[in-house]
Amino acid sequence: MKDFSRKIFLFSEACKKLSFFVLAAFFVLGISANVKAQTIVTASNPQGFRTIATTGTGTVTFVTDANAPAGAGALQLTTPDATAKADFFRATSTLLTDVTELSYFTEQQSGSPSIADPAYQLRVCLNGLNAMGNACNPSLAGGTSFSTLVFEPYLNPGNNGNATIVPDVYQQYDVDAGLFYSTRTVECSGGTLVGSQGSPLYTLAEIKAACPATLVFDFGVNIGSNNAGYVVRTDLLRFNDMIFNFEPAAPTAANASMSGRVTSRSGASLAGVVVALLDVSNGETFITLTNSEGIYRFENGQAGNTYVITPSLRGYTFNERSKSLSITEDTSGIDFIAIPDIKSRKSVFR
């Protein structure tokens, strides 16, 4: 019974030490335990996205694209003539003061006008909900503060290093650090936003200061009228901690295993080493122990995901604190070498 209790104690101590190593790995690798998985958006499962004013010959389609920044495709918007419009929006109810992360990838297909790219837009109530409880839509009684905040790539040269719009290349834009115009003039408690189609431009900080009660009720991408000949694509659209990956079909993730061996510097197998597996896509952590041959194995990993593997054994450090890898198939040889921790052993035997 004493031996069993001691094993439980040692395992508990190993887990405590493991938590330190895992947190240290997050710090060193810049990985957050709260990393959000991408949300796959398809035509059959739009995840709350819908078109609002896609009209005329405008189209919104999910296309296969080997050059997309993630997965197998992207969202394509086209406006063949000047009367066409194309958009794709998702509802939210978020104060603008709580909006911190906005970004997306865009690609202009060859043959499109030189400034062609989808705009990232926030549909907002600049004075919040009006006194009558309506969502600031001018068509509703008392609705006077509706506007759309528009980020246009061509009006943001230099954003995220993009000097110009380059055809047939996906470019990422740091939208929250960019400049917006307001489609309507609205007087707010801290100032007035002047409506325009390109000037004046405002930072998000300036809009928040002028209109601190602003409520965002839709976000998405848009091509307005008078933009004939646009064929543009977008992917990995981000709104705060939500990242939307547009795909022609939901991917089927294949299972893949990960395995390795833990040995001493002399090559001897080490049994009972605690090995933790962190799935970066969802923050889940799994734990296993090495067997008598020093081998550990994790089943049912998902091909395409990124994992962090961290070993821990009381009285030892390792040649690598942890290993980060993205897997596409069964992966073996993820080995570690344990090194006696002299300081730790001295503290144990004092």
Residue 1 inside a domain? The answer is no
In this structure, are 202 and 338 located in the same domain?
no
Does residue 11 register a pLDDT over 60? no
- Residues 222, 263: one domain? no
Residues 88 and 145 in one domain: yes
Judged against a pLDDT cut of 80, whether residue 26 lies above it is answered with: no
Domain that holds residue 290: 6-35+252-348
Domain match, 169 and 286 both: no
**Pairing between strand 39-41 and 242-246?**
parallel
**Residue carrying structure tokens 């495709």:** 73
Which of 3-17, 131-145, 254-268 is modeled with the greatest confidence? 254-268
| pLDDT at residue 152 is higher than 70 | yes
Regarding whether 332 and 233 lie in a shared domain, the answer is no
How far lies 219's CA from each of 215, 311, 343, in Å?
11, 43, 55
Q: Are 180 and 152 in contact (CB under 8 A)?
A: no
pLDDT of the residue at 304: 79
Assign residue 190 the CATH number of its domain.
Answer: 2.60.120.260
Do the domain assignments include residue 70?
A: yes
pLDDT tens readout for residues 43-82: 999 999 999 999 999 999 999 999 999 889 999 999 999 9
Domain match, 158 and 47 both: yes
In which band, very low, low, confident or very high, does the pLDDT at 345 lie, cut at 50, 70 and 90? low
Nearest by Cα to 80 from 103, 102, 54: 54
334 and 266 assigned to the same domain = yes
- Expressed in angstroms, the distance from the first to the final Cα of the chain is 25
- Of 180, 214, 246, the position where a domain reaches its end is 246
Q: Is pLDDT at 188 greater than 70 in this prediction?
A: yes
Instruction: Tell me how many domains the chain contains.
Output: 2
pLDDT confidence tier of residue 112, bands split at 50, 70 and 90: confident
Do 228 and 292 belong to one domain? no
For 28-61, the DSSP string reads HHT--TTPPPPEEE-SS--TTEE-SS-BTT-EEE
Residue with tokens 């000047």: 82
183 & 56 share domain:
yes
Lowest mean per-residue pLDDT among 35-39, 215-219, 252-256 = 35-39
Looking at the predicted structure, is the pLDDT value of residue 33 above 50? no
Q: What's residue 257's pLDDT?
A: 92
CA of residue 296 relative to chain centroid, distance: 31
Domain end position, chosen among 246, 269, 287? 246
The mean pLDDT value of the chain amounts to 85
Q: How high is the pLDDT of residue 252?
A: 64
Establish if 306 belongs to a structural domain: yes
pLDDT at 135: 58
Domain shared by 81 and 183, yes or no: yes
What confidence category does residue 208 fall into, taking pLDDT thresholds of 50, 70 and 90? very high
CATH of the domain at 289: 2.60.40.10
* pLDDT > 80? residue 4: no
In a domain, 301, yes or no: yes
Please indicate whether residue 1 or residue 228 has the higher confidence score (pLDDT): 228
222 and 300, same domain (yes or no): no
Domain boundary among 219, 246, 273: 246
Lowest mean pLDDT among 10-14, 55-59, 283-287: 10-14
Residues 302 and 193 in one domain: no
Q: What is the pLDDT of residue 221?
A: 97
User: In this predicted model, what pLDDT tens digit does every residue of 239-252 receive, in sequence order?
Assistant: 999 999 999 986 66
Band (165; pLDDT cuts 50, 70, 90): very high
Instruction: With H, G, I as helix, E, B as strand and everything else as coil, classify residue 102.
Output: strand
Name every residue whose Cβ is closer than 8 Å to that of residue 348 and which is 6 or more positions away in sequence. 314, 315
- Taking alpha carbons only, the member of 88, 78, 80, 81 closest to residue 53 is 88
Residue 123 is assigned to a structural domain of this protein: yes
